Amino acid sequence: MRIGYVLALLSLLPVASASAGAGNEPLSTELRLAGLKIGDSLARVRKQLGEPERMEGQPGEHHYVLHYPGLRIEMAEPGRVLMLGSTSPRYCTSSGLCPGQPLEQARKRLGEGTLYEGDDSGKLNYDSRDGSCFLAIEPDPSRRLIHGVEFSCP
């Protein structure tokens, strides 16, 4: 009888730990950098930030990347933002996570995150609450500060 009781309690542990972080996931509407969001047009990017410092690829190609100081924007045809990434404290998420802040702030706000097998960078990955987007927080080499934030809605 006692073993059955213990097994019943143990079977509840994964459910309890999985739901412990529920509600901390970012909303896809929170995922903005530099006043931009996924799906914004190239015209909107240029209006907000001006011309990029450099580009990989060109508009009209299926995929191209715009580089601004501390900001990387991946674009996909028909000229829409596919991914936003920042390594500059100038570009924070709309919820206030910024490169240079203590990594602990991201953990307090979002939970522990998921580490993907084979990724040695220690990047913390979070799915958005609606499951359509993800946010990645990359730690600096000391694993104490946020080096970068990026998100995408594939």
Domain extents for the chain? 25-152
Residue 149 in this model has a pLDDT that exceeds 50: yes
Per residue, what are the HEC states of 14-74?
A: HHHHHHHCCCCCCCHHHCEECCEECCCEHHHHHHHHCCCCEEECCECECEEEEEECCEEEE
Residue 151 in this model has a pLDDT that exceeds 70: yes
The answer to whether the CB of 31 falls within 8 A of the CB of 128 is yes
Give the pLDDT score at 3: 45
Residue 13 in this model has a pLDDT that exceeds 50: no
**pLDDT tier at 2, thresholds 50, 70, 90:** very low
Region 110-136 average pLDDT: 88
Residue written as tokens 């047009």?
Answer: 41
Region 99-106 average pLDDT: 95
Q: Global pTM?
A: 0.79
Q: Which CATH architecture has domain 25-152?
A: 3-Layer(aba) Sandwich (3.40)
In whole angstroms, give the CA distance from residue 47 to residue 35: 11
| Closest CA relative to residue 66, chosen from 89, 90, 43, 93 | 43
Return the H-helix or E-strand segment holding 152. strand 146-152
Q: Which of 27-36, 82-91, 110-119 has the lowest mean pLDDT?
A: 27-36
109 HSE (CA, 13 A, CB side): 20
Give the pLDDT score at 26: 76
Give the pLDDT score at 18: 32
**pLDDT tier at 68, thresholds 50, 70, 90:** very high
